[in-house]
Structure 1
Amino acid sequence: MDTTAIPRTGTSPAPDRETLRPDCSNCFALCCTAFGFSRSADFAIDKPAGSPCKNLDQDFSCTIHDRLRPRGFRGCTVFDCFGAGQAVSQQLFGGISWRDAPDSRVDMFAAFKVMRQLHELLWHLAETQEKTLDADIAQEANELQLVIGDLVRGPLSGLLACDVDTIHSRVRTILMDVSEEVRGGYFAEGADQAGAALKPGADLAGANLSARKLCGADLRGSCLIAVDLRGSDLSAADLLGADLRDAQLDGADLSAALFVTQPQINSARGSSGTLLPPGLSVPQHWKEE
């Protein structure tokens, strides 16, 4: 496969959002094996990449799944593979696990890392199709969905050889165009009422942005760690890649926010009073806190 360019069209229907949700029952615990992590506030132990977590059972289930947070594995409750786990396990490797075929470990784990990135891009592209009114943008988004759809269906060699950076760059351009289009209807300014800078990449960690009208704000890639957004309206706010760890979202309206993902929501703090975008769900730990 030519990794220096991406073909303009694909041949297979693009996966829909329902296929981009994790199904752990059909995965060989790839998130518990392929990735590594270091002991921190999110993980209680060190684990090298490519090695099974010590809490992994023989049937690929987690032995402490219902106690992850109190046992020091908060990071596990935040992670979402966008359905890459079952796609790799069942489609690319025919339901044969890395335990049953040890020689497949390296390729399976590598495929999972690529697949997850591509599935996340598909998640965002599906949103652009719903939000844009520009026929040219919609067509380009559809073409990219088809191209990525071909890659994620295999063969394995094509997936591993694909130029993810180039694909990501093209998707990013589309997301920025749609963001500008949607946010333009809100006449958003570069600062909120208190003067806090509302711009891409802003460092707003710990800021008090509660009960604010943040409609149309461009917060792409911003640091929103522990920011207080309680009761705020984030309609059409661009949250692509924003760090929402421990952000307080109780009573916040994110129902029309742009490019929000389940991992972002999982990392934040909220309640049943938080309004989420379609397709995202209230994390279990919100119900328990």
Structure 2
Amino acid sequence: MDNETAKNIRESLTADCTKCFGLCCTALTIIASSDFPINKPAGTPCIHLQSDYGCQIHGNLREKGFKGCTVFDCLGAGQVVSQVTFKGQNWRDIPEIGDKMFQVFPIMEQIHEMIAYTSEALSYDIPHVLFNKLSLQLKELQNLTKLDAEQLLSLDLVIYRFPLNELLSETSKYIRESLIAKLPGTKNAKNYNHERADWIGKKLKGKDLRAIDLRGAYLIATDMRNADLRGVDFIGADLRDVDLRGANLSTGMFLTQMQINSAKGDAKTTLPSHIQRPSHWIN
């Protein structure tokens, strides 16, 4: 394992709906809200799911009120459940596997999320001891994706999340402190620690926010236009309707596609290489 291999693993974690049996459209619960115009219980196909597992209104989801569908991203968990766990068997042809398939999907989604964070951490230049610990963690998580349905359903993911969280925190601290040491001005650690901060609606246009810790922060509708967000730890941060037009997130840490899909941006927003620019953003 080296940095480049880890980076490639992170970039490979993308959804391929052509190899999935519409699991996000079936397995998950939908509650009528500003993100969805309908209620749908888990295990029931969406009214717009077609027989080939495509979406009847895919090109007009936002116009039809299905904003939440354009935000959701499974990091490739759907195709793995469909093609690996269930070996290409689908819930329409074999109804008796449906419930189990729908229960496995969110478990696989969580595993893929952990793989995404771990492989991203391994793509950074970090101390050898930390790199080795993360490498072992990645192998364990990758092995979980090969388990059968019964084994996946019996997993206690907490035993993987807690040690991984410690390793990711250590990675974040090392990377950010290295960047902070190069920044001008006073190096007061309190200025960079905003974990779980409530910044809802805060005006931060054009601010230099490099290397701050925004783990689990509430950033709903925050104005971050043209802000410098390089080296910021975004793990678990709520980015719904954050205005990122013109912002620099090129080296933002632990960002997911779902976080970015829920934000606002434009062609001038700079993103990490593993994040795709949302089609609904302003060009």
Q: What TM-score does the superposition give when structure 2 sets the normalisation length?
A: 0.92
C-alpha contact (below 8 Å) 1:21/1:82 kept by paired residues = yes
Match 2:223 to one of 210, 223, 228: 228
Q: Does 1:180 align with 2:208?
A: no
Separation in 1 of the partners of 2:263 and 2:278?
9
Separation in 2 of the partners of 1:201 and 1:241?
9
Structure 2 segments unaligned to the other structure (5+ residues): 181-186
Displacement over 6 Å in runs of 4+: none
In the TM superposition, residue 81 of structure 1 has moved relative to its aligned partner by 0.3
Structure 1 segments unaligned to the other structure (5+ residues): 1-12, 193-197
Residues 219-246 of structure 1: CA deviation (Å, up to 9, x unaligned)? 1000000101011111111110100011
Residues 250-285 of structure 1: CA deviation (Å, up to 9, x unaligned)? 110000111001000000000010000111111000
In the TM superposition, residue 18 of structure 1 has moved relative to its aligned partner by 4.5
Match 2:268 to one of 260, 270, 273: 273
Percent identity over the alignment is 41
Separation in 2 of the partners of 1:156 and 1:137?
32
C-alpha contact (below 8 Å) 1:27/1:86 kept by paired residues = yes
In the TM superposition, residue 155 of structure 1 has moved relative to its aligned partner by 2.3
C-alpha contact (below 8 Å) 1:189/1:217 kept by paired residues = no
For the structure 1 residues 40 and 55, does the alpha-carbon distance in structure 2 shift closer, same or farther, using more than 3 Å as the test? Answer: same
Structure 2 residue aligned with 1:7: none
In the TM superposition, residue 287 of structure 1 has moved relative to its aligned partner by 4.1
Separation in 2 of the partners of 1:55 and 1:169?
38
Structure 2 residue aligned with 1:40: 33
For the structure 1 residues 276 and 19, does the alpha-carbon distance in structure 2 shift closer, same or farther, using more than 3 Å as the test? Answer: closer
Equivalences for 1:1-150 in 2 at 5 Å?
16-150=9-143
Partner AA of 1:190 in structure 2: K
Q: Cα RMSD over matched residues?
A: 1.7
Which secondary structure does the structure 2 equivalent of 1:131 belong to?
coil
Comparing 63-72 with 131-140, which one deviates more in the overlay? 131-140
For the structure 1 residues 163 and 60, does the alpha-carbon distance in structure 2 shift closer, same or farther, using more than 3 Å as the test? Answer: same
Structure 2 residue aligned with 1:155: 148
C-alpha contact (below 8 Å) 2:10/2:120 kept by paired residues = no
Structure 2 residue aligned with 1:218: 213
Which secondary structure does the structure 1 equivalent of 2:123 belong to?
helix
Structure 2 residue aligned with 1:190: 190
Q: What TM-score does the superposition give when structure 1 sets the normalisation length?
A: 0.90
Comparing 260-269 with 146-155, which one deviates more in the overlay? 146-155
C-alpha contact (below 8 Å) 1:132/1:178 kept by paired residues = no
Structure 1 residue aligned with 2:233: 238
- What is the aligned length? 271
In the TM superposition, residue 191 of structure 1 has moved relative to its aligned partner by 4.2
In the TM superposition, residue 97 of structure 1 has moved relative to its aligned partner by 0.6
